[in-house]
């Protein structure tokens, strides 16, 4: 039997559905809408295995904040009605046949990345359902990312058009430009255009930093801020070696619970 693992970036999906609702206190509507969305995803993707991965709502900002204290420091807290309704949402999804994986100290992104790579590296098909472009660094012939809300694939042509670099260079790209939404500073004075120029000439930040051919206008910036670039790259990269505590058989998708 061929494997197709579908991984739902759960809070990414739930927050977008919830924010579009006229009444933020109407969790029943969130449950109905997300369940309808998942049924469409199931119909379109025909998964053999499926799981929804959640950040634990009580966790701290994780290992990234230890490297960069300002990381996600100003992120908005989850709306209280939504936080109170998460258990009901997970229960509704369970009845659809979708188990939930809650992070415990690690960010959901790293759990998703670890599970996705473990399966894709064995040549099996993986689809991550998320609008988060951070997952694009994982792209491979057997691993794809679907932005359900924009009805598009976040694939190699999308990355080329959006960033002008290869998927494998995205952590270097964000190490240079930073990620403003997560309070990741990058290198001051290096924006998307400059990062693209650097990473077109060099494969990585380290290769650029070590080269005498790096343009003088970038040499000064990297010399002054190489430590920040390295930290920001480390934060932008996804962990793929977390102990998951379950195997693929545990998340086989067999349809709604009776």
Instruction: Extract the annotated binding site.
Output: 109, 176, 185, 187, 190
- Long-range contact set of residues 217-223: C-beta below 8 Å, sequence gap at least 24: 218/190, 218/194, 221/187, 221/188, 221/189, 221/190, 222/187
Q: How many Cα atoms are found within 13 Å in the side-chain-facing hemisphere of 171?
A: 17
| Long-range interactions of 133-139: CB distance < 8 A, separation 24+ | 133/162, 133/170, 134/109, 134/170, 134/236, 134/238, 135/9, 135/109, 135/238, 136/167, 136/170, 137/167, 137/168, 137/170, 137/171, 137/236, 137/237, 137/238, 138/113, 138/167, 138/238, 138/240, 139/167
Give residue for tokens 């809300």: 149
- DSSP assignment of 217-233 equals HHHHHHHHHHHHHHHHH
Tokens of 95: 């009845």
Nearest of 165, 164, 119 to residue 144 by alpha carbon: 119
- The annotated binding site for K(+) is made up of 176, 185, 187, 190
The annotated binding site for Mg(2+) is made up of 109
């Amino acid at each position: 039997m061929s494997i197709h693992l579908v991984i739902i970036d759960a809070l990414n999906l739930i927050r977008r559905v919830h924010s579009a609702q006229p009444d933020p206190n109407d969790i029943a509507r969130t449950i109905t809408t997300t369940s309808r969305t998942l049924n469409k995803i199931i119909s379109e993707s025909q998964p053999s295995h499926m799981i929804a991965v959640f950040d634990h709502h009580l966790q701290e900002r994780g290992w990234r904040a230890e490297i960069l204290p300002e990381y996600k420091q100003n992120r908005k807290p989850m709306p209280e009605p939504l936080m109170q309704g998460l258990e009901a949402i997970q229960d509704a999804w369970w009845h659809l046949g979708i188990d939930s994986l809650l992070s415990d100290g690690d960010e959901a992104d790293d759990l998703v990345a670890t599970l996705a790579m473990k399966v894709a590296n064995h040549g099996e098909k993986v689809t991550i359902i998320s609008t988060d472009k951070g997952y694009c660094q994982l792209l491979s012939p057997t691993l794809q990312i679907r932005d359900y809300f924009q009805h598009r694939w976040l694939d190699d042509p999308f990355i080329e058009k959006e960033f002008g670099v290869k998927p494998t260079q995205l952590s270097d790209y964000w190490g240079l430009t930073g990620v403003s939404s997560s309070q990741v500073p990058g290198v001051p004075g290096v924006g998307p255009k400059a990062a693209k120029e650097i990473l077109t000439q060099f494969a990585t930040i380290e290769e650029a930093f070590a080269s005498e051919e790096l343009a003088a206008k970038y040499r000064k910036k990297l010399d002054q801020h190489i430590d920040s670039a390295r930290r920001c790259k480390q934060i932008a990269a996804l962990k793929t070696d977390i102990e998951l505590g379950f195997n693929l058989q545990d998340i086989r998708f067999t349809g709604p619970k009776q």
